[in-house]
Structure 1
């Protein structure tokens, strides 16, 4: 027992003593596990264990109760010593430890005996159900877990971009040194790889075919394919054995066959690999007795899809619907087809662009003329490795690398140059987020929007000093304008905070002014701006919506500020801060209370 943290060691000893005392009171005499017995649970960090002899409906079985040094804060575990072979019963790990509760389950730490008693009650219920064969359906609903446990053959990382749905079909595959990528077509595969690893030479972007077999019923572990013949039989039952025959003629070193199926918890994808029989002393088992081009198809099929072992490998889904919401976010179909332009990729625009990418927006257009400096790094997604480079191109690299399925276009230029150009790339987007904080540019953008013949939402976002408050407004054009809430010089009619002293600071350089704030307080504002952008995209925010984030009142006062009279008039209930208010973007100062 580690003695480094004495209070925790006392908690552990007290909990163990309490549990053993309660067992004695109940007339139970479990045996303490010795070091050799505890060693059978290597990797479980078991500090102490007890063994019970228990009568079940079929026979007497031994149960081990295990606790780590973190007990009672970490719950106990129960293991079944006398058990059938691995994967005969669900919820029984290879070492016999039972999966009784999900990872998020909790137990009372002030009554450790009650927690163990509850686990033992669950254990008896589970084992009796397993004896009666009532839980085999769990093998199907939790298919990916049991397939992973049954993995065999060479370990490889397989990433899937395919749409996880029927029908069975040919898929395209790229195999690199560290990972294998599978997609529905060459274009998807090529675009993803160029984003993820742009330095891969074009000559190495060579793809081959594999097969997705969509099966009607999720197999039990006893039905998992063990041999190449098993794989062929599964394809034959699905009606796509002819695809395997076609792929077999290429006689590659390995043939990747994905299996897909619907489960109670959504679609599941796994992979089998049929390996070409090894050439031994120059003799090729596939060609024996025939010239390479003269092997009869039935002979080739029998030799490739014979009794040789098939690998079983797990798959990591990286298709957009899984990455962005695990198939449960209904917004993704709309967001995948959307294009959003982010103007200004600094401390506000940079985080907003990253958030929109992670939310699943299909294409981003980044516009900014500036390069990253050391002063930017503390509150920007980019790090010191990007200092001296254009913010747009570095941010694009980051998004492409993290989320290779997202399309990113970048313009290292002034917004004015784009708006005044003949072919403005902003004209065809679905939404613009302006984080410029620059009145000349944003007034031009406002005028440009008013001249459009279609409704194009623009979200403007900015911060007040110390990020004590932040603003996000949505303007659709037509009758609503950015300038409705600003004076002639671009200053907002409604400012949430007032400051006794000048808040703007200066670097020892010409015109290098900045507002002091850090990434923590800024995070609330960039999240609000990003949320407003999503709402505008999805039709959940009306034109002229104005959202204001207010930091904690104590934070503002500590920084030397206070709430403005205008804010006190329109939101007296929000003056403690740490909240967001929503109002209509006003035309004049007189409309503030409207």
Structure 2
């Protein structure tokens, strides 16, 4: 390249082609704009007639990263919520996506956008199309409606509103907990809304949302029938409109006024009230605030975004609810919450298991940080207690009961027959497996049992499902399940009584935890499934890399790739019958 020559980037080359076209004689439909939407933007104006809104000046523009960002189209911002696909600043969401060939054919990209605009212009003359488009993406338009109303009212909405939803068949009353940070104009940091008698403040405390001064209020949940129209033409902007909409949906004239009169008596006239309109999966909220001048002005009405925090939505997004509800009614006993048991506990909770009892005698130590779900802030605390506190705060509607004692002592003193749907042993201890085997019917009754453990270095992980019809042998034949003979290899001993460990990290243990949990959930979902042994086994090169002298079984796959692994399913009685 000659000295002084400035290289033209592909972006600049593509933009130059479009400029030459739109500024030339071949594009008389567009004129250079003197008021581009943004600095350092090429923009042109196109004048279009519309039978409903009259003559419109439409701006076509390209940014500095064109054509990676396709051309932008802006119309009058006042058309937002009048027409679909128009944002608050007037940007038209045309839906043209960038493609690899755009740099070679930049004019084609502009023509594609203009074709979308032309079709959109025709569609906006069809009232049925407008209604259908708004209805299809009503949540997105509701959020724009909220933003616009907040600017019009000059009112700061709640920073966040979290709603505990349950299926609704009729108008239902509820309760609100509002949290106000210190400061005159700080606004509401959070609203927590619940149905019926459920206490929203307790919910907020559980999930650590209770920042600021508590102010209680009342809520009214109004179900939106399936297929009902929920578009900008329906959304109230004042107290009278909100009252009329509630009465209409409740099919009861005066229903809204009765509720207002009931909850806003003489001593509660200044409390804030909330109305939640609920669809099957989404909800929409209105905050009713005291009027500027009591008794002389109507209450203020502010729409806001309402976010569901119930387990059906938070853990499953309302899909597969038959399984989710079955899991929520189930109760699991988890023995051990160390490097394997603690992520298993979290994964079970996130999968929707309703009640998990955790038994572990250990206290969390600094050396546990590398492969446990807990961290340094839990040092010196009981593992079972800390894991319970963490999961209770993180996951909606799960109940975790921690027991800080030895597994065998807890089984002997507290275990109730037929109290559990599944028992999962993650201690990796022979004593626990033996006790469970010997006292199976007495302690556990008819529930299934899962024994899970990892071989040293997490070179393999095993899940042994023992159904209610079978029993794990009391002589604890783990060597018939393991894929390698380790002897004293793979264990590092510390200068303390019976203290040793095997080296592996969180990435290793959590892979095993996912393997274990997936199979445990399959047993909960199908409790009559037969006894089975599942194993996750890494490649021979991984075993070699550990430096431990081991004797590998034929189940270990031979591969030079240490990341290679296989999953194996074995018959329970057949595997244990082999010497």
Q: TM-score range by the shorter chain?
A: 0.7 to 0.9
1:492 is aligned, of 473, 479, 490, to: 479
User: Structure 1: where are the runs of 5+ without partners?
Assistant: 1-5, 40-45, 280-284, 287-302
1:483 is aligned, of 448, 473, 476, to: 473
1:176 is aligned, of 174, 179, 185, to: 179
- SS for the counterpart of 1:122 is helix
* 1:38-77 matches, cutoff 5 A: 38-39=37-38, 48-51=41-44, 53=46, 55=48, 58=51, 61-67=57-63, 69=65, 74-76=68-70
CA distance in 1, matches of 2:289, 2:231: 23
TM score, norm. by length of structure 2: 0.82
The answer for the alignment partner of 1:159 in structure 2 is: 162
The question of whether the paired residues in 2 share the 8 Å contact of 1:172 and 1:210 is answered with yes
1:282-337 deviations in Å (ceiling 9; x for gaps): xxx32xxxxxxxxxxxxxxxx57x3x531111101001110011111332111111
1:530-571 deviations in Å (ceiling 9; x for gaps): 1111111100772322111233555444334789334169x9
1:446 is aligned, of 425, 431, 437, to: 437
CA distance in 1, matches of 2:461, 2:510: 10
> CA 1:150 to 1:511, structure 2 compared with 1: closer, same or farther past 3 Å?
same
The answer for the alignment partner of 1:13 in structure 2 is: 12
1:50-71 deviations in Å (ceiling 9; x for gaps): 43526566556424244464x5
In the alignment, does 2:420 pair up with 1:429? yes
**Which deviates further from its counterpart, 211-220 or 56-65?**
56-65
**Which deviates further from its counterpart, 318-327 or 397-406?**
397-406
In the alignment, does 2:197 pair up with 1:186? yes
Alpha-carbon RMSD across the aligned residues, in angstroms, is: 3.6
1:222 is aligned, of 230, 233, 255, to: 233
CA distance in 2, matches of 1:356, 1:13: 53
**Which deviates further from its counterpart, 581-590 or 328-337?**
581-590
The answer for the alignment partner of 1:136 in structure 2 is: 131
1:203-253 deviations in Å (ceiling 9; x for gaps): x98854321122443332133221122222222222222223322335432
> CA 1:17 to 1:474, structure 2 compared with 1: closer, same or farther past 3 Å?
farther
The question of whether the paired residues in 2 share the 8 Å contact of 1:494 and 1:566 is answered with no
The question of whether the paired residues in 1 share the 8 Å contact of 2:480 and 2:578 is answered with no
In the alignment, does 2:115 pair up with 1:121? yes
CA distance in 1, matches of 2:373, 2:537: 23
CA distance in 1, matches of 2:177, 2:435: 47
The question of whether the paired residues in 2 share the 8 Å contact of 1:475 and 1:482 is answered with yes
CA distance in 2, matches of 1:547, 1:164: 39
The question of whether the paired residues in 1 share the 8 Å contact of 2:42 and 2:62 is answered with yes
1:235-280 deviations in Å (ceiling 9; x for gaps): 2222222223322335432442323243xxx43211112222235x
Aligned residues: 539
> CA 1:434 to 1:589, structure 2 compared with 1: closer, same or farther past 3 Å?
closer
The answer for the alignment partner of 1:353 in structure 2 is: 345
The answer for the alignment partner of 1:337 in structure 2 is: 329
1:274 is aligned, of 269, 288, 292, to: 288
In the alignment, does 2:558 pair up with 1:567? no
- SS for the counterpart of 1:354 is helix
> CA 1:188 to 1:13, structure 2 compared with 1: closer, same or farther past 3 Å?
same
The question of whether the paired residues in 2 share the 8 Å contact of 1:450 and 1:481 is answered with no
2:259 is aligned, of 243, 263, 270, to: 243
CA distance in 2, matches of 1:339, 1:47: 61
1:436 to partner: Cα distance: 0.4
CA distance in 1, matches of 2:331, 2:492: 36
- SS for the counterpart of 2:229 is coil
CA distance in 2, matches of 1:435, 1:129: 61
